[in-house]
Amino acid sequence: MKIEAKYDIIIAGGGLAGLSLAWYLAKGGYKGEVLVVDSTFAPINDKTWCFWTNKQPPFKEIIYKKWKKTWVSVLEYSTFRYLNEYTYYCIRSGDFREHVLRELRKYKNFDLLEDNILDFSANKNKAVLLTKSGDSFLANYIFQSVMKPKGLDESSIKYPLIQHFLGWEVKTIEPAFDPETFTIMDFDDDFSPGIGFMYVLPYTHEKALLEFTVFSQDPLQKKQYKEKIRHYLYHQFGLDKEHYEIKRKEYGEIPMQDQPHIPFYDNNIFNLGVVGGQTKPSTGYTFTRIQEYTQNLAQNLIQGFDPLPPQQSKFKYRYYDLLLLHILSNSTEDSLRVFHDLFKKNKLDDIFRFLEEGTNVRQDLKIMSSVPYTPFFKAIWKNLR
């Protein structure tokens, strides 16, 4: 096998996880040789990443919009809720990619390669990336976010849920939206199978992203999402199809599963991002977890230490996630009642703190005591092991 070039680090995949790691390595002063490989580096805004934080947000230069007020509706409960400690942010994937790549091109020790990744191989000391063009690249370490983890037995996943959604970014002729208020969850109480809700990010009075989102085992047909969005635009905002223009669309499927923790793809090859288990099973949120991990990983590498593999959440949060996955998988009625009581009986800041796994025991008990007991007792009984 002919080796085209040797590197200290290869980053396989130029998505959120791979480019975040490259960013923190470059900005932190990493001196080794780095290769970033992806099929294309075109800055296309095909994804919208949202997150909350009570700290300085990462990539603050490209924050597209932020909010401190939200609308939530589930069963008979509908209200505005306010954030005090936290702020809700969104970043567009194309802006992120363009911003990071512009910076990486300033560093002579960072190479960018557009090619399709075919496979990896490894021994005790080195790892190799193979491309579909037939080229091979050697590295001390490979960090990959493009291949499913080796050894993943999908039949062992007890709750194989996915969060799937289709979104329209629309521009209206007349003002229709409140740009200061995003809709975190407006549940469709009659939807089945699964849990369905509308998620709305208003950017201006005339421009917003609307996503119909579902928690279930199987995606819908595209026309079903579209019908839900059209219906919502008409009944919630009085907008018929001649009143708005669809500027772009985005579609996604995010795993929400009790997936086993598999940090390594092979010797000296580490899993990153979604394939590295950095998606929180009960929510699908990934952005902040990726930022925290890649920043810490970059610091380890810069200081000359061995790479820090992705870590699991604390046991208590993994168990909370498992219980909620059980409820989401088995009862739409119970799921809606859990979300109803969660939002009605808790401050939004407290909910966000719990979901980002930053709570103490007292705060955990407050959250858990606010939701219906019976569904969780059933879930505990079914998941004693």
Q: How confident is the model at residue 1 (pLDDT cuts 50, 70, 90)?
A: low
Q: Are 166 and 222 in contact (CB under 8 A)?
A: yes
Q: Kindly report whether the global pTM for this prediction surpasses the value 0.75.
A: yes
Residue 354 belongs to a domain: yes
Q: 364: Cβ–Cβ under 8 A, 6 or more apart, which residues?
A: 316, 320, 354
Taking residue 79's Cβ as centre, other Cβ atoms within 10 Å add up to: 10
Residue 54 belongs to a domain: no
pLDDT in tens, 223-258: 999 999 999 999 999 999 999 999 999 999 999 988
Enter the DSSP assignment of 126: -
Residue at a domain's end among 302, 331, 357:
302
CATH code, domain carrying 210: 3.30.70
2-36: string of b/e by CB count within 10 Å (b at 16+)? eeeeebbbbbbbbbbbbbbbbbbbbeeebebbbbb
Taking residue 248's Cβ as centre, other Cβ atoms within 10 Å add up to: 13
Q: Domain check: are 129 and 189 in the same one?
A: no
Residue 228 belongs to a domain: yes
Taking residue 269's Cβ as centre, other Cβ atoms within 10 Å add up to: 22
Q: What is the SS3 assignment for 98?
A: helix
Q: Does the pLDDT of residue 312 top 90, yes or no? A: no
Question: Which H or E element spans position 110?
Answer: strand 110-114
Q: Who has greater pLDDT, 178 or 190?
A: 178
Number of domains in the chain: 3
Q: What is the mean pLDDT of residues 163-185?
A: 97
Q: Domain check: are 251 and 291 in the same one?
A: no
Q: Domain check: are 273 and 286 in the same one?
A: yes
Q: Domain check: are 245 and 127 in the same one?
A: no
Q: Who has greater pLDDT, 218 or 382?
A: 218
59: left (phi over 0), alpha (psi -120 to 50) or beta: left
Backbone phi, then psi, for 163, in 5-degree steps?
Answer: -100, 115
Residue at a domain's end among 302, 333, 360:
302
Q: What is the SS3 assignment for 227?
A: helix
Q: Domain check: are 251 and 262 in the same one?
A: no
Q: Domain check: are 252 and 262 in the same one?
A: no
Q: What is the mean pLDDT of residues 176-205?
A: 96
Rounded distance, CA 13 to CA 116, Å? 9
Rounded distance, CA 73 to CA 344, Å? 10
Give the pLDDT score at 88: 98
Q: Are 129 and 269 in contact (CB under 8 A)?
A: no
Question: Which H or E element spans position 122?
Answer: strand 117-122
Instruction: Kindly list the distances between the CA atom of residue 240 and the CA atoms of 173, 177, 197, 200, 206, in Å, as whole numbers in the listed order.
Output: 11, 14, 20, 17, 14
CATH code, domain carrying 147: 3.50.50.60
pLDDT in tens, 346-356: 999 999 999 99
Q: Domain check: are 19 and 102 in the same one?
A: yes
Q: Domain check: are 100 and 173 in the same one?
A: no
Q: Are 144 and 13 in contact (CB under 8 A)?
A: yes
Q: Does the pLDDT of residue 385 top 80, yes or no? A: no
Q: Domain check: are 202 and 323 in the same one?
A: no
Q: Does the pLDDT of residue 150 top 90, yes or no? A: no
73, amino acid identity: S
Q: Does the pLDDT of residue 153 top 90, yes or no? A: no
pLDDT in tens, 64-118: 999 999 999 999 999 999 999 999 999 999 999 999 999 999 999 999 999 999 9
Q: 201: Cβ–Cβ under 8 A, 6 or more apart, which residues?
A: 48, 50, 65, 90, 182, 208, 209
Q: Domain check: are 120 and 207 in the same one?
A: no
Residue 230 belongs to a domain: yes
Q: 384: Cβ–Cβ under 8 A, 6 or more apart, which residues?
A: none
Residue indicated by tokens 């993994």: 318
Residue 309 belongs to a domain: no
pLDDT in tens, 12-61: 999 999 999 999 999 999 999 999 999 999 988 889 999 999 999 999 99
Q: How confident is the model at residue 156 (pLDDT cuts 50, 70, 90)?
A: confident
Rounded distance, CA 347 to CA 367, Å? 10
Residue 81 belongs to a domain: no
Residue indicated by tokens 């809720």: 81
Residue indicated by tokens 């709750």: 159
Domain span at 327: 315-382
Q: Are 97 and 43 in contact (CB under 8 A)?
A: yes
Q: What is the mean pLDDT of residues 338-347?
A: 97
Residue 50 belongs to a domain: no
Residue 20 belongs to a domain: yes
Among candidates 159, 73, 74, which has minimal Cα distance to 337? 74
Q: What DSSP string runs through 307-328?
A: P-PPPPPPHHHHHHHHHHHHHH
Q: Which structure tokens are listed for 188?
A: 């469709």
Q: Domain check: are 98 and 183 in the same one?
A: no
Taking residue 183's Cβ as centre, other Cβ atoms within 10 Å add up to: 23
Helix 93-104 / helix 16-27 crossing angle, nearest 10 deg: 30
Q: Domain check: are 290 and 351 in the same one?
A: no
Give the pLDDT score at 124: 86
